[in-house]
Amino acid sequence: MTVEELIIYGKQFIHSTHAKMLLADLLGINPLELLNHLDKVVEPDLIEKYKQKVDLVKNQKPVQYVIGNVNFYGNSFFVNESVLIPRFETEELVENTLNYIDKLFPNKNLKVIDLGCGSGCIGITLKKKISSLEVTLLDISKDALEIAKQNANSLHTEVTFLENDMLENIEGKFDVMISNPPYIKENEKIEDIVKNNEPHIALYAGKDGLDYYRKILKEAPKHVNEKFLIAFEIGMDQKDAVMNLAKESFPNACIISKKDMQEKDRMIFIYQED
Query: What pLDDT, in 10s, does the model give residues 142-169?
Result: 999 999 999 999 999 999 999 999 999 8
- Residue 145 has a CB neighbour count (10 Å cut-off) of 21
Q: Is 74 exposed, middle or buried (0-12, 13-18, 19+ CB in 10 A)?
A: exposed
pLDDT score at 188: 85
Report which of 7, 14, 57, 13 is spatially closest to residue 34, judged by C-alpha positions. Answer: 7
pLDDT tens sequence across 50-62: 999 999 999 999 9
pLDDT at 273 > cutoff 90: no
In the predicted model, what is the mean pLDDT of the chain? 94
CA 274 vs CA 105, 113, 238: distances in Å: 10, 21, 29
Whether domain 81-272 has CATH 3.40.50.150: the reply is yes
Where along the chain do its domains lie? Answer: 3-59, 81-272
Mean per-residue pLDDT for 54-71?
Answer: 95
State the pLDDT at residue 197. Answer: 85
DSSP 204: B
Q: What pLDDT does 113 receive?
A: 98
pLDDT of residue 233: 97
Mean pLDDT, range 12-41, rounded to an integer: 92
Cβ atoms within 10 Å, residue 206: 15
Lowest mean pLDDT among 122-131, 182-191, 252-261: 182-191
- pLDDT band for position 12 (50/70/90)? very high
Q: In terms of C-beta density within 10 A (0-12 exposed, 13-18 middle, 19 or more buried), how is residue 208 classed?
A: middle
Q: State the average pLDDT over residues 182-198.
A: 87
Q: Could you tell me the pTM of the whole model?
A: 0.92
